[in-house]
Amino acid sequence: MNFLLDYGVDKNTIQKIKENNEPSTVFYFLTLKENVKEVINYLKSIKVEVIDTLLVNRLELFLLPVERIKERFESYNIEVLVQLINEDINVLNNV
């Protein structure tokens, strides 16, 4: 999971991912490493600031195809959505 360090993810976040998820989920996450990178890049490009929080609490987001995430996010006002996500990641329950 050290590839996450290249994206500014904190070492403590990586540890929490391992602690909070089943080994099979972590393995699946690692098999989708290229998709995870694309999701992180997309989230950064739209100014999502809480990527570490999302990795710890919403790992499933990073397992979705990036095109599906873009499609869902773009059905909303992205600026407003990002602001809401940065304030409270639970807004994703409604996206």
In the chain, where the domains are located: 2-94
Say what the pTM is. Answer: 0.93
Residues 33-57 have pLDDT tens digits of: 999 999 999 999 999 999 999 999 9
Neighbours of 9 (CB within 10 A): 19
pLDDT of residue 6: 96
CA 35 – CA 82 distance, rounded (Å): 20
End-to-end CA, the chain: 27
Copy the structure tokens of residue 40: 């992180």
CA 56 – CA 80 distance, rounded (Å): 23
DSSP 3-state of 95: coil
